[in-house]
Amino acid sequence: MDLQLATRREGDAAVVSVGGDVDNDTAPQLRQAIGTAFNDGADRVVVDLTETDFLDSSGLGALVGASKEHVGELVLVCPRPQLRKLFEISRLNEVFEIYDDVASALA
């Protein structure tokens, strides 16, 4: 499935909603969308993975790379157990704050 990205502002934060597959072909688009959100003035970027069907190591790398490139807070929304397990196996759950829903991530 193709990647769908949508960004919206919520006060000082931006929410980047990710749908579809994040893989070697699409991970650069995700990284760019996060960078654009920070460059547009967001202090906090929430990456909403609720509608993400697939995420591989390229996608994880894009998230890590984006968090290191920009000043600001990058947090994730990942309610799907199969995706959350990737963050636990890679120990990235110790790097990123991970929430079950966007409202909690914005609070």
Write out pLDDT tens, residues 11-68.
Answer: 999 999 999 999 999 999 999 999 999 999 999 999 999 999 999 999 999 999 999 9
pTM of the model: 0.95
Question: What is the average pLDDT across 85-104?
Answer: 96
Q: What is the pLDDT of residue 83?
A: 95
Distance CA(96)–CA(45), nearest Å, equals 12
pLDDT of residue 1: 66
**83-95 CB burial, b ≥16 within 10 A, e <16:** bbebbeeeebbee
Q: Say how many C-beta atoms besides its own lie within 10 A of residue 81's C-beta.
A: 8
CATH classification for the domain delimited by 4-101, as one of 3.40.30.110, 3.20.20.70, 3.10.20.30, 3.30.750.24: 3.30.750.24
Mean pLDDT over residues 68-91, rounded? 95
